[in-house]
Amino acid sequence: MTILKMPATRTLLSTLVTATVFALAAGQIAAQTAAPPKVTVTPAITKDVSPETSFIARGEAIKKVDLVSRVTGFLDEQPAPDGSLVKTGDIVFQIEQDTYQAELEAQQANLVQTQANLENANVILSRDSKLVKDSTISQATYDTSVANQKVATGQVAAAQAAVKTAELNLGFTTVKAPFDGRLSRATVSLGALVDPSTGSLITLVQEKPMYVTFSISDKTMLQVMQQLHVDTPTVPDGGSKAIVKAQLADGNMLDEKGKIVFIDNHIDPDTGSLAIRAQFDNTEGLIFDGSFLNVIIQNGDPKRMIVIPQAAIGQDQRGSFVLVVDDKNTVEQRYITTGQVQGVDIIVKDGLREGENIIVDGLQKVRPGIPVDPVQATITPASADSGGTSGDAGSSGSSSSSSSSGSSGTSGAPASTGTGGSSTGATDTPSQGG
């Protein structure tokens, strides 16, 4: 019975093997005929780009002073509260005046007395001048009258100086703001005894306009000089030739433009850098004394350059690359040389031609050499403002950069990582790239 069933078993096994082979073949055919993955592409475009360089800077008050007491006394009043805005001449502190008022009145009384003595000395001298001519009095008596008149004149001058000193001391009891600005927190309390050795009572800082200071390397300075066509590191054209912008600590760009007002005359040997100072009107008061911010300098005329979204760039050991979709809709890995960041975009110095389509969404689905189904991006960040500067591009494309960077977190190319997420994290900051 067992021998008769073996042919049936072999037939069953053969059938199973044949079915498996057909299933695998059908799967391979289906895989070969599957639709290519959809990817979002955008063309590399050219636009006018102004050469820019970004520096870390610090706000610095043009005027900043510690208000101190010039006389000794108790603090009676503080009409200007801590942190308030004051105008030139506003009273900040009032020191007790009674003692100094009394001293002034005493010196004024002494002046009246000395003036009376001078008048008497003048009368005596006038009389003795006639008597000495008639030999009625001796020459010695006349000489004494002359000396007494001179002493009385000197006493009047001394008394007048004492009155002036007393008036000054009385005026010093009123501590006033020497310029417009904002007060800090007071270091003393009302009722405290203050004198010149007390030190700073409060600090006054002018907020408008405001300096922004930063340092530039000697190499960068030479490049800027060449772009501005100047021979010496001075302030060209009153500082208006170079456009200066500021990015605040929260990433927002300051609406107003600044100008270079000072360039130091030597390189710091310890840092190899040159100190530069820009000035902003600071109309909104957003730059504070001591605050850190970024300064972006546009130097030179705009140039036509290729610009692409940062979200399209990948990175591996060889450097930066993009995935290009050619005329046959095949993916090609292209290594590029990048330049400065322009908001959410970046300049491409070499490796791309204008009009070539690069993948900005769907990078994780593809690899070089495979066919894809490209779909043009609805809004191209790089072309949203083809004639704008980097600051404009940054502000107009910041909202769309989040979706692009999210889809390009990792690249589909082997041994590479996407840089779209990290590069678009900085908002509207043109910086030195490459």
Question: Residue by residue, what is the 3-state secondary structure of the chain?
Answer: CHHHHHHHHHHHHHHHHHHHHHHHHHHHHHHHCCCCCEEEEEECEEEEECCEEEEEEEEEECCEEEEECCCCEEEEECCCCCCCEECCCCEEEEECCHHHHHHHHHHHHHHHHHHHHHHHHHHHHHHHHHHHHCCCCCHHHHHHHHHHHHHHHHHHHHHHHHHHHHHHHHHHCEEECCCCEEECCCCCCCCCEECHHHCEEEEEECCCCEEEEEEEEHHHHHHHHHHHCCCCCCCHHHHCCCEEEEECCCCCECCCCEEEEEECCCCECCCCEEEEEEEECCCCCCCCCCCEEEEEEECCCCEEEEEEEHHHCEEECCEEEEEEECCCCEEEEEECEEEEEECCEEEEEECCCCCCEEEEECHHHCCCCCECEEEECCCCHHHCCCCCCHHHHHHHHHHHHHHHHHHCCCCCCCCCEECHHHHCCCCCCCCCCC
How far lies 341's CA from each of 52, 386, 387, 398, 433, in Å?
A: 9, 15, 16, 13, 6
One domain for residues 351 and 418: yes
Residue 374 is part of a domain; what is its CATH number?
A: 2.40.420.20
Digits of tens for pLDDT over the chain (434 positions)? 444 445 555 555 566 656 665 555 555 555 455 788 888 999 999 988 877 788 999 999 999 999 999 999 999 999 999 999 999 999 999 999 999 999 999 999 999 999 999 999 999 999 989 898 888 888 999 999 999 999 999 999 999 999 999 999 999 999 999 999 999 999 999 999 999 999 999 999 999 999 999 998 888 777 766 665 555 555 555 455 678 899 999 888 899 999 888 888 888 888 889 899 999 999 999 999 999 999 988 766 778 889 999 888 988 889 899 999 988 889 999 999 988 777 788 899 898 999 899 998 888 888 888 998 888 887 544 444 443 334 333 333 333 333 333 333 333 333 344 443 333 333 333 333 33
**Residue 183 phi, psi dihedral angles, 5° rounding:** -85, 155
One domain for residues 383 and 269: no
Say how far apart CA 71 and CA 98 lie, in whole Å.
13
One domain for residues 162 and 219: no
Residue 338 in any domain: the answer is yes
Residue 152 is part of a domain; what is its CATH number?
A: 1.10.287.470
* Amino acid found at 66: D
Q: What is the pTM of this model?
A: 0.61
Domain interval for residue 149: 98-172
Omega prior to 209 cis, within 30 of 0: yes
**Residue 357 phi, psi dihedral angles, 5° rounding:** -85, 130
One domain for residues 224 and 288: yes
Residue 19 in any domain: the answer is no
pLDDT at 21: 56
One domain for residues 271 and 284: yes
Say how far apart CA 134 and CA 126 lie, in whole Å.
14
Residue 1 in any domain: the answer is no
pLDDT at 212: 95
Residue 227 in any domain: the answer is yes
Residue 10 in any domain: the answer is no
pLDDT at 70: 95
One domain for residues 195 and 283: no
Residue 17 in any domain: the answer is no
One domain for residues 253 and 323: no
One domain for residues 292 and 227: yes
Count of domains for the chain: 4
